[in-house]
Structure 1
């Protein structure tokens, strides 16, 4: 019988949107875990195009303050904005935030070096980024740390770049708030297997 230990672990990785700051791990332990998860994630041609900023304390709070301020002009309805602000405050209540980036100079270098595959490197970078995000998210879940993957980019790109001195060429792709699990996720629904998979064995 095949070992499903990893599948069981993946089932622990859920979008936890109600998080807190009550973790028993220190910032250095968590940062080391995140760094290792990203380093061991695969990328096309091993180009290691994923970048990350790991933010704690006021720096983490700043991400969600920036997002709240930026969305004021995008969500003019007061009631809708109040709901949006409450959602952002739930992320802000966590222990930290990971900002995931793609390093565009790496992609440009690959396109030049491997011209035959030039049209694919942007897509492959997204695949590598997704692998890194899943690796980090699952590693956090293994340690009973809740997280979710948010996408307020590109709305907040300029403000984030200014606030955190983001290197030139790093393009923001997602924001992952994490912290203690204050409310578990609801049961996950799955589409029918017949509409998702096709098995051919001949």
Structure 2
């Protein structure tokens, strides 16, 4: 588990009120991890950053979803913590094995930081860890997409070198209105 404290970060590191920020690759849940992850997800969904959900699903649905993530061999789960509590996550999805032509790439999915933990650099550290995993797996390119309403995430990805290559004007339907979505990629060095 990587740990970042306000005293050992540089530009783009931990900002805002002090707190111990750490990131961790999860292959199983321990302690309150699953409950923390479900709580963080519910709050993010309510605030409009719930990676597709428009309203929080039933708790059992969330638990099933997060338990299922760990069962998929082509996925890697990274969580960000603030003072030991899961405060956000992202997943790295590898290209299916039958798609040899695109085996060089992976997709960043389901990335979020819960509202009470934003502004502390957690999202940046999660994405850095996802990129580290991608390099370890020999991936050369990362792809991602997100709603136009995710302004902080757009700023983060663009500041980390992700290039927007397209916009879908009817990417999502929220409250009866179409919301554009943007597509990004990053070549890993």
The normalised TM-score by structure 1 is 0.28
Structure with the greater alpha carbon radius of gyration: 1
Compare relative contact order (CA 8 Å, sep 6+) and give the higher one, 1 or 2.
Answer: 1
Give the number of the structure whose residues are more often helix, by fraction. Answer: 1
The normalised TM-score by structure 2 is 0.29
